[in-house]
Amino acid sequence: MTVKERYRRVIEWFESSMPVAETELQYDNPYQLLVAVILSAQCTDKRVNMVTPPLFEAFPTADAMAAVSAEEIYPYIKSVSYPNNKARSLAGMARRLVDEFGGEVPADIDALMSLPGVGRKTANVILAVVFNRSAMAVDTHVFRVSERIGLTTNSKTPLATEKALVRNIPEEIIPKAHHWLILHGRYVCKARRPDCLNCGLTSVCRFYQKETKK
């Protein structure tokens, strides 16, 4: 099977089986999503969604968060992974957002990545979800699922995976494709024990074909 054919069949399956694919993080505006994505690093969306309502009530805007210290943010996020580091990132992010961007989340990847706590993955999530840009955020799920299915081959870095996916997925569906791969990795193609028996992609999946030949 050619790479082009594999992509075509994978996209067709997702289009029919998951026509609506969105982030599971709960937010009302770009600032809230940025905070939630920073908190979600190495942490479940479920946990983040438990933490953010009181956090957003206390700090409803970037200006409100910029006015406090990391130590004041910490109690609201202490149950997420790496709370000390994330409290510092949120405080720094909010101050820079206010000082450099008037409190508004920028729609530029370099500007986003200049914010404390924001790497390429987080920046691409914001671009895709908030601004509907053709940005492919590669987290551990996207990285794993892409390689297992065969959308990438021996990809060594998230950036290499991102470039391969963007090169082969139609631009207009890249924002949705990002969520397809995340949700598939979260609920079906799990890290330790992929649920191949309940996966509709076995006919095109490189991992499954190898496993069945053993």
57-91 pLDDT, tens digit per residue, is 999 999 999 999 999 999 999 999 999 999 999 99
* Active-site position among 121, 190, 210, 214: 121
212: confidence class by pLDDT, cuts 50, 70, 90: confident
Q: What is the DSSP string of 47-106?
A: HHHHHHHHHHHH--SHHHHHTS-HHHHHHHHTTSSSHHHHHHHHHHHHHHHHHHHTTPPP
93: confidence class by pLDDT, cuts 50, 70, 90: very high
Across the chain, what does the average pLDDT equal?
94
In this predicted structure, what is the pLDDT of residue 42? 87
Asked whether 3 and 168 are in contact (CB, 8 A), the reply is yes
Question: Is 45 an annotated catalytic residue?
Answer: no
Lowest mean pLDDT among 99-103, 183-187, 210-214: 210-214
What percent of the chain is modeled with pLDDT above 90? 91
Whether pLDDT at 214 is above 70: no
And the tokens for 132?
């509907």
And the tokens for 102?
């008037």
Q: pTM (2 decimals)?
A: 0.89
Question: Is 139 an annotated catalytic residue?
Answer: yes
Distance CA 60, CA 22 (A): 23
* Active-site position among 110, 139, 156, 195: 139
